[in-house]
Amino acid sequence: MSVPEVYAVDPNSQSKLNVLIVTSDPSVLKTATQALAEREYTVITVPNGSDALDVLKQRAVDIMLSDIDLPGMPGVTVAKTASRMFPDLSVVLMTDGSGTEAARSAVGCGASDYVSKPLDTPHLLLVLERNLERRKVDAGQLYRERSQVLFSAIKALAAAIDAKSFYTATHSSRVTTLCLAAGSVLGLSSADMATLELAAQIHDIGNIGTPDEVLDKPGTLTDVEWVDILRHPDVGSSILSHVPGLTQVSSIVRHHHERYDGGGYPDGLSGDAIPLLSRVVAVADAYEAMTSERPYRHAKSHVDAIKELRANARTQFDPIILECFIAAVDDIEAGNKAA
């Protein structure tokens, strides 16, 4: 499953690459900076390992090109320390003949690669580009893994919130399935489908602030209890707004109880002013709720639920999204009957 690209710095972003050169040798410095200037890297230079580690703590560096022979801390130690502190950093050592064995043995345990001095510009650029490419691939893998872990954690949180109530134990996962079916009929892009999946999974995350006895109450809710219920889109979007990269998901969650005619909550948006994916969640949410048992009423049949949805087209629901949803859910029903 794809996940929204929201959880980490995108490794495919086109920002200029930062190269940190660590050397106290003026001729090495001159050759390396001239070579890198040709490729529009941002070059930072320091004369020793201690200064290099300070720079790494203060700013993002994509690759460190370090002399093996440095005043103070040896280049191999700098490479090992830097890679331990910043596992995503590529470190290329520069060595003369006497340090080649040390550089070779440092590769894999701190350094990513090494080049021989005197520096040969085409070879240096080739090595740097090879290592940057490798770093990009590794970063992409890490990015996907982190995204997947975070998505799983969010799903687990949504399931925990649904589990607050016996009656909503599988609500979010069913709404998600229905949303994705509708999204596919609507022809949403894969990015929108991924966002929709996440938003549907956590659309009721704001119920974390709703007392269990209100969620499971069999009778009519009091005014105070209604206030608790009506707050959940606002509470949910506020929680998510603190997560960098979840702005769109937060907005979808906020508006999943808006009505097409403007009579919904929390902001009374109408028509196309309601985020499209919120309009999808709204229909799926209503259908799932209608076809599920609740403490205060029995589940409706598929046919009766569709009838009720259509009765609310243009008032509660976006009519186009509603028809796409019905086409999708009719397919699911037909598949269930055939099974």
Residues that bind Fe ion (CB under 5 A): 204
Q: Is the CB of 91 or the CB of 205 nearer to Fe ion? A: 205
Q: Residue 115 pairs with which residues in a beta bridge?
A: 94
Q: Is the CB of 128 or the CB of 200 nearer to Fe ion? A: 200
Q: Is 25 helix (H, G, I), strand (E, B) or coil?
A: coil
Structure tokens at 202: 């956590």
Q: Is the CB of 147 or the CB of 210 nearer to Fe ion? A: 210
Q: Is the CB of 81 or the CB of 210 nearer to Fe ion? A: 210
Which of these, 72, 94, 91, 71, lies nearest to 81 by C-alpha position?
91
Alpha helical stretches, state H, 108-189: 121-162, 171-186
Name the residue number minimizing CB distance to Fe ion. 204
Q: Is the CB of 51 or the CB of 204 nearer to Fe ion? A: 204
Which of these, 221, 203, 215, lies nearest to 165 by C-alpha position?
215
Q: Is the CB of 162 or the CB of 204 nearer to Fe ion? A: 204
As measured in angstroms, the least distance from the Cβ of 204 to Fe ion is 5
As measured in angstroms, the least distance from the Cβ of 306 to Fe ion is 20
Q: Is the CB of 62 or the CB of 204 nearer to Fe ion? A: 204
Which of these, 199, 180, 209, lies nearest to 254 by C-alpha position?
199
Alpha helical stretches, state H, the chain: 26-37, 49-58, 75-85, 100-106, 121-162, 171-186, 190-201, 212-215, 223-230, 232-241, 247-254, 276-290, 302-311, 319-338
Distance CA 18, CA 121 (A): 18
Residue 67 phi, psi (nearest 5): -65, 145
Contact 266, 233 (CB under 8 A): yes
Which of these, 284, 91, 265, lies nearest to 174 by C-alpha position?
284
As measured in angstroms, the least distance from the Cβ of 233 to Fe ion is 6
Q: Is the CB of 74 or the CB of 206 nearer to Fe ion? A: 206
As measured in angstroms, the least distance from the Cβ of 296 to Fe ion is 16
As measured in angstroms, the least distance from the Cβ of 200 to Fe ion is 11
Q: Is the CB of 81 or the CB of 250 nearer to Fe ion? A: 250
Secondary element (H or E) of residue 20: strand 18-22
Question: What DSSP letter does each residue of 89-107 carry, written as one string?
Answer: -EEEEEE-GGGHHHHHHHB
- Taking every pair of Cα atoms in the chain, the longest distance, rounded to a whole number of angstroms, is 85
As measured in angstroms, the least distance from the Cβ of 229 to Fe ion is 8
As measured in angstroms, the least distance from the Cβ of 147 to Fe ion is 25
Cα-based distances in Å from 74 to 85, 112, 154, 273, 291: 17, 16, 45, 61, 69
As measured in angstroms, the least distance from the Cβ of 266 to Fe ion is 11
Structure tokens at 45: 């230079």
As measured in angstroms, the least distance from the Cβ of 115 to Fe ion is 59
